[in-house]
Amino acid sequence: MAAADGVVTSAAQQAKVIDGKAISAEIRLELAEQVKQLQQTCGKVPGLAVVLVGTRGDSETYVRSKRKACEEVGIASYATDLPEDVCEDDLLQVVAQYNADPNVHGILVQLPLPGHINERRILDAISIDKDVDGFHPANIGALAMRGRTPLFVSCTPKGCVELLERSGVQISGKRAVVIGRSNIVGTPAALLLQQRDATVTVVHSRTRDAASIVAEADIVIAAMGKPESVRGSWIKAGAAVIDVGTNPVPDATKKRGYRLVGDVAFHEAAAHASHITPVPGGVGPMTITMLLSNTVDSAKRALHAS
Ligand SMILES: NC(=O)C1=CN([C@@H]2O[C@H](COP(=O)(O)OP(=O)(O)OC[C@H]3O[C@@H](n4cnc5c(N)ncnc54)[C@H](OP(=O)(O)O)[C@@H]3O)[C@@H](O)[C@H]2O)C=CC1
Ligand SMILES: Nc1nc(=O)c2c([nH]1)NC[C@@H]1CN(c3ccc(C(=O)N[C@@H](CCC(=O)O)C(=O)O)cc3)C=[N+]21
Ligand SMILES: [Mg+2]
């Protein structure tokens, strides 16, 4: 903001901060209600199987919050924890058992998997009608095709779009730039925005002059996994900024020895954006909520068909 002497002292925040925790809480209440209804009409509750391999601290944290979130809305959660050195066939066996279990409506294998396991082979083994992560090629493929509806849309992209919609940000006709092209975030996010009639550009590690491309965006989805690297000067005035990045940076003042920052330099970007998500408390909680939502949808499909 320009001070009286004309020197730029600090950038005033003008953006509305999108509260992912509050929006999540609202949706979880709706989900709890739907679970109750299913239980009353079918005598059954949705079930989610969460498979964890190894002892990565961050994976354990995420898996714990997924299981806790299930409990909160009345979804039954089934846990399989396997040792780091489990062989691919044993892991496939676990997936096959959950595929066949009628009480299980969703299967999530926490990523990343240890290096000796072929991640793709495991994800492809998950039955497409229990693929609540939306990582199966059939579900991502359907998302990419006009006139097709995937059984499941990946949770993080779905959470991003839900945050935009529930914050009154129009997507149709807008110019969106997605930073990152991973199979689990960037690519499905770009496909989903395109399905919602945005004009989408994808920026990745080989992109030249990402800053000037991002500067054209009405909607920015940052998912590159590089702490605070999207700068305020990249953001067009009035753009909506969704920060998927969840990067630990060392911080001795924190109990766990680190704090989380996004891919966006929050305060800088907030001076230009109309809407922005914080990290933590933005996309993260929504990812888990969309997982619950996909599981409830799956159970409805299965129970109403039987
Ligand atoms: N909040 C949530 O719910 C979730 C958060 N995350 C977080 O989101 C971030 C991204 O995750 P994920 O997609 O799995 O990460 P990946 O590492 O799989 O993908 C990163 C992508 O960003 C691109 N990239 C890397 N550096 C740059 C750069 N300097 N400029 C532009 N693009 C770049 C890569 O390009 P290339 O393809 O060329 O290598 C790649 O496509 C991470 O911080 C992760 O922790 C992830 C999942 C859920
Ligand atoms: N099969 C699979 N599916 C996934 O969806 C999946 C995965 N593997 N592997 C890892 C990534 C990452 N991910 C996150 C989920 C929630 C938060 C989250 O809740 N974050 C909180 C903070 C959590 C904290 O404080 O540690 C927040 O942003 O507010 C973050 C990241 C899902 N992923
Ligand atoms: Mg990845």
pLDDT tens track for 180-232:
999 999 999 999 999 999 999 999 999 999 999 999 999 999 999 999 999 99
Average pLDDT over residues 118-146: 98
The DSSP 8-state label assigned to residue 236 in this structure reads P
At 239, give phi and psi (nearest 5°). -70, 155
pLDDT for the residue numbered 12: 72
Beta bridge partners of 108: 50
Contacts of residues 37-46 at CB distance under 8 Å and 24 or more positions apart, as own/partner, are 38/296, 38/299, 38/300, 38/303, 39/74, 42/303, 42/304, 44/103, 44/299, 44/303, 45/74, 45/75, 45/76, 45/299, 46/75, 46/76, 46/105, 46/106, 46/295, 46/296, 46/298, 46/299
Query: Would the ipTM clear 0.95, i.e. be above it?
Result: yes
Question: Looking at the CA of 185, which ligand is closest?
Answer: 1
Cα(273)–Cα(220) distance, rounded to whole angstroms?
10
Residue 20, SS3?
helix
Catalytic residue, chosen from 66, 158, 174, 236, is: 66
Report residue 25's pLDDT band, with 50, 70 and 90 as the boundaries.
Answer: very high
Share of the chain above pLDDT 90, in %: 94
251 annotated active-site: no
Residue 233 CA to ligand 3 center (angstroms) comes to: 27
For the CA of 279, the nearest atom of ligand 2: 28
66 annotated active-site: yes
Average pLDDT over residues 29-33: 98
Q: State if residue 287 touches ligand 2 by the CB under 6 angstroms criterion.
A: yes
110 annotated active-site: yes
pTM of the model: 0.95
- Is pLDDT at 294 greater than 50 in this prediction? yes
For the CA of 135, the nearest atom of ligand 2: 1
- pLDDT tens digit sequence for 139-193: 999 999 999 999 999 999 999 999 999 999 999 999 999 999 999 999 999 999 9
For the CA of 281, the nearest atom of ligand 2: 29
Q: Which amino acid is at 123?
A: L
Question: Looking at the CA of 134, which ligand is closest?
Answer: 2
Report in angstroms the alpha-carbon separations of 73 from 27, 32, 68, 180, 289.
10, 4, 9, 32, 10
Q: State if residue 106 touches ligand 2 by the CB under 6 angstroms criterion.
A: no
Report residue 305's pLDDT band, with 50, 70 and 90 as the boundaries.
Answer: confident
Report residue 3's pLDDT band, with 50, 70 and 90 as the boundaries.
Answer: very low
Order of all β-strands in the sheet with 16-17: 16-17, 275-276, 240-243, 219-222, 175-179, 199-203
CA angle at 168 for the pair 163 and 170, rounded to the nearest 5°: 95
Which residue's CA lies nearest to atom 28 of ligand 1?
205
Beta bridge partners of 250: 258
- Of 27, 246, 292, best ligand 2 pocket probe by most atoms within 8 Å of the beta carbon: 246
Helix locations, 148-209, DSSP H: 155-166, 186-195
Helix locations, 167-281, DSSP H: 186-195, 210-214, 266-270
- pLDDT tens digit sequence for 46-61: 999 999 999 999 999 9
pLDDT for the residue numbered 1: 45
For the CA of 108, the nearest atom of ligand 2: 1
Report residue 10's pLDDT band, with 50, 70 and 90 as the boundaries.
Answer: low
Q: State if residue 288 touches ligand 2 by the CB under 6 angstroms criterion.
A: yes
Question: Looking at the CA of 180, which ligand is closest?
Answer: 1
pLDDT for the residue numbered 11: 57
